[in-house]
């Protein structure tokens, strides 16, 4: 009867504790595996920090490039305005030169006209030309 009483006490003792030992055994193995994960976690956190730093650096570089691009666009607009003014002046000069070229044949005829007039004046005056 003592054996039966022991079995009943043992069953009552184990009643709510099925797997309790396994739970703590698992925790000790989890702690052991957690200890082995610690360097890997630190490495991953370090890598995350590097990635964040790289991301910040890229954003800073992107901002610099954006500012440079904006400045280049301003300079381009200023250069285009200068070119437009130069083209307008070129058109004005071309018109002026065209006007001069149109009058040029008459200018080339002036010496002949002057000589002809000189001869006519000399005839009217009765002066002999040599």
Q: What is the DSSP string of 43-100?
A: HHHHHHHHHHHHHHHHHHHHHHHHHHHHHHHHHHHHHHHHHHHHHHHHHHHHHHHHHH
pLDDT at 7: 65
* Token pair belonging to 46: 């370090």
Spatial distance between the Cα atoms of 116 and 109, rounded to a whole number of angstroms: 11
Closest of 26, 7, 118 to residue 130, by C-alpha: 118
Spatial distance between the Cα atoms of 59 and 64, rounded to a whole number of angstroms: 9
How do residues 75-94 score in pLDDT, each as one tens digit? 999 999 999 999 999 999 99
Q: How confident is the model at residue 97 (pLDDT cuts 50, 70, 90)?
A: very high
The pTM of this model reads: 0.46
Per DSSP, the three-state class of 18 is coil
* Token pair belonging to 56: 């910040």
How do residues 13-53 score in pLDDT, each as one tens digit? 555 555 555 555 555 555 555 567 888 899 999 999 999 99
Spatial distance between the Cα atoms of 5 and 53, rounded to a whole number of angstroms: 69
């Amino acid at each position: 009867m003592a054996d039966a009483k022991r079995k009943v006490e043992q069953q009552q003792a184990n009643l709510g504790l099925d797997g309790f030992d396994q739970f703590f055994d698992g925790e000790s193995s989890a702690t052991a595996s957690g200890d082995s994960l610690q360097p890997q976690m630190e490495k991953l956190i370090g890598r995350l920090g590097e990635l964040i730093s790289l991301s910040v650096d890229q954003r800073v570089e992107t901002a610099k490039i954006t500012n440079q691009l904006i400045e280049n666009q301003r300079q381009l607009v200023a250069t285009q305005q200068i070119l437009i003014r130069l083209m307008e002046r070129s058109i004005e000069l071309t018109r002026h030169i065209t006007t001069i070229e149109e009058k040029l044949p008459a200018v080339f005829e002036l010496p002949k006209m002057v000589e002809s007039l000189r001869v006519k004046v000399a005839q009217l005056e009765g002066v002999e030309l040599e």
